[in-house]
Amino acid sequence: MTNVTANNHCNEWDLLITDANIATMDSSIDAPYGAIDNAALAIKDGHIAWLGKQTELPAFDALATPIISAKGQWLTPGLIDCHTHLVFAGSRAEEFEQRLQGVSYEQIAAQGGGIASTVRATRAADHEALFVLAKDRLNALYSEGVTTVEIKSGYGLDCENELKILEVARLLGENHPVDVKTTFLGAHALPPEYKGRSDEYIELVCNEMLEQVVAGKLADAVDVFCENVGFSHAQTRRVFAAASKHGLPVKCHAEQLSNQHGAQLVAEFKGLSADHIEHLDEQGVKAMAVAGTVAVLLPGAFYFLRETKQPPIALLKQYNVPMAISTDFNPGTSPLCSLQLMMNMGCTLFRLTPEETLAGVTRNAAKALGLTDRGVLKVGMRADIAHWQISHPAQLSYQLGVNKLLNLWVLGRLN
């Protein structure tokens, strides 16, 4: 299969990668992984200008075009981590140890632990401290081939600190090769100062908080934790309605611990994704299928919390709901900063195939963020490209602990 640009200015390519096997992840190509073997790929102005069999390369000026040989190794789209809580301060390692010794979550919370401890630490940290902490985490993802990351707020739980988290996330995007998308998650948990007054807090989220987030252009989407230990279906609807008035797409932490029909609600708002979804029912799956809402699987939280109820993978496949996979990196329930580990867990815990997991961190993860310019390697898309020292794409889900990344291009730039 060959794709060429409309004007085909071959002599003006910024880079040509030859001798490659390419897992395009393009579902229109009738081959596993959308693979093209013995292929070449050209980059111009940060985007893919040509892609196809190397034998079908159009004539070009070899003296004027920089050429890199992939030496028979594999190219994939840059990986996308579509659900993270990357900006926070503090550690919950001692709580992890306590839980293993039999102390309940309720007891830990009564002692001031749990999410309240992360909120205290995050509120106490300034922009610089949060930036340094988050940059280290972002570097870890980048080293594994991640080129796009979503970062949620949710550990400030007041106007000043929710804005601070989003400002740090925006700053990370401006000062790091990884492209950062931000999500306002003010409705993550009830802050201690609003105990017993959840409706009043939701009023704050929908008005003062959201208005300042929009005024500062700090968020690309809005999220809510719709759960019996989070916010109700009615409260979630209020936040979604407020977000929609501001033209912001919505997503939802849904059906993680119980079925509150959050996935069906986010689908009603034509939302981007429903995330976690272990307790999702067929009615919710049908609603997501109709709305085009992506199911974001978070095997790290499933693993770390030692859950036993799996997401309804068979139903999602039956109704052709796209499945993304993400780290859910956070200090309490998924302190696992490795998207490749999530790919392995997607296979071992949820019985996905390696091809399904790679789709889950490329084209489906892009869809979960509302992005149409990445996640697939084809002409016109962003040149976010990972070059791997592997003999087959399944190795990305199979082997852990060995860095297989050789090169990484973000918007056509080798970093």
Whole-Å CA distances, 183 to 38, 167, 282, 292, 410: 40, 11, 27, 19, 22
Whole-Å CA distances, 173 to 126, 134, 328, 415: 18, 11, 18, 15
Amino acid at 391: S
Rounded distance between C-alpha atoms, residue 300 and residue 374, angstroms? 24
Binding residues: 83, 85, 92, 155, 188, 253, 256, 328, 330, 332-333
Strand-pair partners of 47? 44, 382
Binding residues for 4-imidazolone-5-propanoate: 92, 155, 188, 256, 333
Binding residues for Fe(3+): 83, 85, 253, 328
Alpha-helical runs (H) found in 205-338: 210-215, 233-245, 262-268, 282-291, 299-304, 313-318
Contact 184, 210 (CB under 8 A): yes
End-to-end, the C-alpha distance of the chain in Å comes to: 29
The structure tokens listed for 249 are: 């797409």
Binding residues for N-formimidoyl-L-glutamate: 155, 330, 332
Output the DSSP codes for 338-386: -HHHHHHHHHHTT---HHHHHHHTTHHHHHHTT--SSSS-STTSB--EE
Closest by CA position to 152, among listed 105, 83, 208:
83
Binding residues for Zn(2+): 83, 85, 253, 328
